[in-house]
Amino acid sequence: MELKEKLLSSFIAFENEYSSENFFISELRNEAIKNFETTGFPSKKDENWKYTSLKKVLNKEFSIFPKNEHVVEYNKVQPYFIGDIDSYKIVFIDGKYASHLSQTTHEGIDVCLMSAALSEPKYQLIIENYFNKIATQSGLNALNTAFCKEGAYIHIKKNRVSEKPIQIVHLCTGEDPALLLQPRNLIVVDENAHVRIIERHQSMTKNPTLTNSVTEIFASKRCNIDYYKIQNDKSEASLVDNTFIAQDSNSDVCVHTFCFGGKLTRNNLNFFQNGQYIQSTLKGITIIGEKQHVDHSTLVHHLQPNCESHQDYKGIFSDNSVGVFNGKVIVEKEAQKTNAFQANNNLLVNDKATINTKPQLEIFADDVKCSHGCTIGQLDKNAMFYLKTRGIPEKEAKALLMYAFANNVLESVKIPQLNKRINEIIADKLGVKIGFDL
């Protein structure tokens, strides 16, 4: 049976099991499955999916619900946490909440579970005001909404500063031969509040997994959100990350995506600027090889005047890997004095790697500053010779130049331990043991 048919028929059973909980959600799910039935999975005919095909990912016999609950010891998953910081943790194993690995809270801030938020009356108002309000209502997003039941629920209340970062970690044990995961996160940050979040999806075996994740983030006035995505998965793990961020006046939201790949990774990162004097920052480092495929599709929608957006994506592609950058910026007629900047710089390490980069600017206002630039280059031969005459061997010299190419993106990482970890992953990815952190 095709995955789509399997999903449609599974929905009835799923809905029977969960429908009693919340009428509002039940309605949404039913509507969503209808939308998914109409729109289906995206294909290459869809302009937004021109360079990324899900065909090779969808042809597995995915379980839609994991068979059993699996327990995982902390020491097995410890490498996937930024372990040396005091943090809140919301951890899922095969889509189910793992309380023994987590640390949640309700003290001034809510760091807990989507399942609780969807079922308990005290969250009803927030859910009705925010849930599924900015996510797209078709395709993979509709599919996620139809089956949504678990994920992270974070609510930072007015004037609160979450001193500890929050780590959201989705683990997949591989106990099921192939597993489809659909986490759903909701993050609401009230006026003047601050929060830092690290999100990671991690498969622990080589069994195929497909994660179709949807995250909605609401940034109220003057709030500050730092969001870090770490994507460094196994060779058969695929991820479609759909993130939607609505910002109100004077808010500052920064998303870093550190993408070291899995099989296929697609990041749909969407910003909606609904107020004035907003800062939106999108940064990314992508380093992939083998046959990995990474697609960053970004959207920044400038709806109001006097706002800024900055995009800076660096990519390093080797072997037969494929990269895609599709950066869309829309500046509406009302959005005068917009300052939108976009850069996508790529390094192709050999002849077989591919990058498709496509900036897309739609500007309807006349008093704006918008710039974009994309480059595709190779390592500078003279620089290589220079490093080698200083005794630095070929491999290390390459690594040093690649690191130098990407590392300005790390300067804006505000968690030092995370910075260190990303440095380590990069050194590991480039296959060298040189300290980059002096």
Partner 1 sequence: MLKIDNLHARIDGKSILNGISLDINPGEVHAIMGPNGSGKSTLASVIAGKEDYEIRQGKIIFEKEEISELSADERAHKGLFLSFQYPVEIPGVTVTNFIKTSLNESRKAKGLEEMPANKMLQLIKEKSEMLEIDRKFLSRSLNEGFSGGEKKRNEIFQMAMLEPKLAILDETDSGLDIDALKVVANGVNKLKSSENATLLITHYQRLLDYIVPDFVHVLIDGKIVKSGNKDLALDLEKNGYDWIKKEVAKQ
Catalog residues that contact partner 1 under the rule CB under 8 A. Answer: 380-383, 385-394, 396-397, 400-401, 403-408, 434-436, 438
Which residue type does 429 have?
K
Which residue number, 125 or 438, has a Cβ lying nearer to partner 1?
A: 438
Beta bridge partners of 361: 329
Minimum Å distance from CB 284 to partner 1?
16
Residue 289 CB, shortest distance to partner 1, in Å, is: 21
Residue identified by tokens 């969960």 is 18
Reduced to 3 states (helix: H, G, I; strand: E, B; else coil), residue 154 is: strand
Between 369 and 388, name the residue whose CB sits nearer to partner 1: 388
Query: Which one, of 292, 335, 310, 183, lies nearest residue 255 by Cα?
Result: 310
Nearest approach in angstroms of CB 319 to partner 1 is 23
Structure tokens at 298: 């970004």
Instruction: Work out the angle at residue 281's Cα, subtended by the Cα atoms of residues 278 and 286, and round it to the nearest 5 degrees.
Output: 165
DSSP code, position 79: G
Q: Which of 71, 61, 91 is nearest to 207 (CA)?
A: 61
Nearest-angstrom CA–CA distance, 284 and 344: 9
Of the pair 49, 313, the CB lying nearest partner 1 is at 313
| Distance of closest approach, residue 389 Cβ to partner 1, in angstroms | 5
| Distance in Å, CB of 419 to partner 1, minimum | 14
User: Which CB, 21 or 396, lies closer to partner 1?
Assistant: 396
Instruction: Collect all residues with Cβ–Cβ distance below 8 Å to 2 and sequence separation of at least 6.
Output: none
Q: Does residue 389 sit in helix, strand or coil?
A: helix
From 253, 248, 323, select the one nearest 283 (Cα to Cα): 253
**What is the longest distance spanned by two Cα atoms in the chain?**
71
For partner 1, the closer CB: 106 or 390: 390
In whole angstroms, how far apart are CA 2 and each of 41, 61, 62? 11, 9, 10
> Which residue number, 31 or 396, has a Cβ lying nearer to partner 1?
396
- Minimum separation from the CB atom of position 296 to partner 1 (A): 21
Region of 198 please: left (phi>0), alpha (psi -120 to 50) or beta.
beta
Tell me whether residue 118 or residue 410 sits nearer to partner 1 (CB atom): 410
CB of 203 to partner 1, least distance (A): 32
C-beta of residue 378 within 8 angstroms of C-beta of residue 45: no
Q: How far is the CB of 162 from partner 1 (least distance, A)?
A: 32
Q: Which two tokens stand for residue 267?
A: 């990041």
Helix, strand or coil, per DSSP, at residue 407: helix
The pair of three-digit structure tokens given for residue 426, joined into one six-digit string: 């990069």
**60 vs 398, which CB is nearer to partner 1?**
398
- Minimum distance, C-beta of residue 421 to partner 1, in the bound complex (Å): 18
| Residue 175 CB coordination number (10 Å) | 18
Output the smallest distance, CB 390 to partner 1, in A.
4
Closest by Cα among 306, 288, 217 to 255 = 217
211 vs 286 by CB, closer to partner 1: 286
Which residue, 16 or 382, has its beta carbon nearer to partner 1? 382
- Cβ atoms of 217 and 248 within 8 Å: the answer is no
